Amino acid sequence: MSAFADQTGPHLFTSHCRAKGSPNNTQQTDMVRSTLRLFRGVITSFSSSLKEEEHRTERNACLNSLVKVLDRDPSIDVRGVKLILDRDFRVSATGAVHVEAKALRSAEDWERYFESSKDLGVARVRAEFVQGVRQHEDEIASKLGIASFHCSSAALSQNEVCQDLVEELVATAEGAGNAICSSTKVVVDNKHEFYINETDGTIVVPLSRSADQILDFLLSHSAEADRISLRYEKELKEISRLKSLVRSRLKVRVFTKGDGVTIHQFRQCSNRLVRMSKSLVTHTEGLNLRVGSTNKIDLHQNCIEIAWNFA
pTM greater than 0.75:
yes
Distances (CA, A) of 113 to 80, 103, 221, 274: 18, 10, 50, 55
Beta strands 43-46; 148-151: pairing state: unpaired
Phi then psi dihedrals of residue 132, to 5 deg: -65, -40
CA 226 to chain centre: 25
Residues 94/132, Cβ–Cβ less than 8 Å = no
Q: Is 136 left (phi over 0), alpha (psi -120 to 50) or beta?
A: alpha
Report the SS3 class of residue 22. coil
Give the model's pLDDT for residue 10.
44
Q: What is the mean pLDDT for each group of 10 consecutive residues in the chain (311 residues)? A: 38 46 68 90 91 81 93 91 95 95 94 94 95 96 94 95 96 80 94 94 96 94 94 94 95 94 94 94 93 90 92 75
Q: How far apart are CA 108 and CA 86, in angstroms?
A: 19
Domain ranges of the chain: 2-117, 127-230, 251-307
- DSSP code of 53? G
Give the model's pLDDT for residue 76.
92
Give the model's pLDDT for residue 299.
83
The candidate with the shortest Cα–Cα distance to 306, out of 263, 273, 279, 262, is 273
State the SS3 of 1-21: CHHHHHHHHHHHHHHHHHHHC
Residues sharing a CB contact under 8 Å with residue 121, sequence separation 6 or more, in sequence order: none
